[in-house]
């Protein structure tokens, strides 16, 4: 017989309310018919969703965020997956040092890393803001590609690769024919985490943007500094729906257990 634990149940309920209440507030404000941020909403309307979808600074920055997230994710995976394979399968000297270097963007504060990249690429090298954002986000996402795919690679049986090599397959054919399908769930997981991390990033993006090139979170931050309309809540709700949609598609295609269960760090 399971004992009832009222204190534990109460704490669990409090935690759920603590997590869900901000979401309820944001969605409620987004559905407000009024002109200011108020909760509970004064009447219900979809007005601010239409305003958000036609507000040019948000639509332009949305395109920028999508381009930066996609490009940075591709670069991070293109660098991180081969590097992870080399570290785990080739066992080079200084393996632990290499792993620490790859994970260092998670250790160094984003503001410090962003300022360093700002000085290097925007001030000294003269790169435009879009190129600097892509490079900066690629550096920021590299640990996800290395850590998540590395965890998946550790669970892969090296005997499969040895068997392929014994049958005459070269290193490249073995990687693409044997290793890559095995670590595919880890790559999917790293891709999802990288896209969401890049899309929602603020500290580094804030330092690498310009007046003409901004990501959506930076545009939202600038908006709330001068305006107090429910449009910002509507944009936040749309981003929430986008995240839920990505989660549902992921579950539909590969399943959370395969993506996050096998390859989570």
What residues does each domain of the chain span? 59-261
Per DSSP, the residues of the chain read: -PPP-HHHHHHHHHHHHHHHHHHHHHHHHHTB-SSS--SS-SSB-SHHHHHHHH-HHHHHHHHHHHHHHHHHHHHHHHHHHHHHHIIIII--TTHHHHHHHHHHHHHS-HHHHHHHHIIIIIIIS---HHHHHHHHHHHHHHHHHHHHHHHHHHHS-HHHHHHHHHTT--HHHHIIIIIHHHTHHHHHHHHHHHHHHHHT--HHHHHH--SS---HHHHHHHHHHH--STHHHHHHHHHHHHHHHHHHHHHHHT-HIIIIITT--
> Quick one: pLDDT at residue 4?
62
Q: Tell me which CATH homologous superfamily contains domain 59-261.
A: MetI-like (1.10.3720.10)
> Quick one: pLDDT at residue 38?
73
pLDDT by residue (tens digit) across 212-224?
Answer: 888 999 998 888 8
Stretches in the chain below the pLDDT threshold 50: 1-2, 259-265
> Quick one: pLDDT at residue 137?
92
């Amino acid at each position: 017989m399971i004992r009832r634990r009222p204190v534990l149940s109460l704490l669990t309920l409090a935690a759920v309310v603590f997590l869900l209440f901000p979401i309820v507030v944001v969605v409620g404000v987004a559905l407000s018919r009024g002109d200011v941020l108020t909760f509970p909403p004064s009447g219900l309307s979809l007005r601010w969703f239409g305003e958000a979808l036609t507000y040019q600074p948000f639509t332009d920055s949305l395109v920028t965020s999508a381009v930066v997230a996609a490009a940075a994710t591709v670069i991070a995976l293109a660098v991180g997956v081969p590097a992870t394979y080399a570290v785990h399968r080739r066992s080079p000297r200084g393996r632990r040092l290499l792993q620490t270097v790859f994970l260092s963007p998670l250790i160094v504060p984003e503001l410090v890393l962003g300022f360093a990249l700002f000085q290097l690429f925007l001030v000294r090298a003269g790169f435009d803001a879009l190129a600097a954002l892509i490079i900066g986000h690629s550096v920021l996402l590299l640990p996800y590609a290395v850590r998540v795919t590395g965890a998946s690679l550790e669970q892969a049986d090296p005997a499969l690769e040895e068997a392929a090599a014994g049958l005459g397959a070269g290193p490249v054919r073995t990687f693409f024919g044997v290793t890559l399908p095995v670590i595919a769930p880890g790559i999917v997981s790293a891709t999802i985490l990288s896209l969401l991390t890049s899309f929602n990033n603020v500290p580094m993006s804030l330092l690498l943007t310009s007046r003409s090139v901004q990501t959506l979170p930076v545009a939202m931050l600038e908006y709330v500094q001068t305006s107090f309309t429910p449009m910002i809540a509507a944009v936040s709700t749309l981003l929430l729906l986008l995240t839920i949609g990505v989660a549902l598609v992921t579950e539909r295609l590969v399943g959370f257990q395969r993506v996050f269960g096998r390859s989570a760090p």
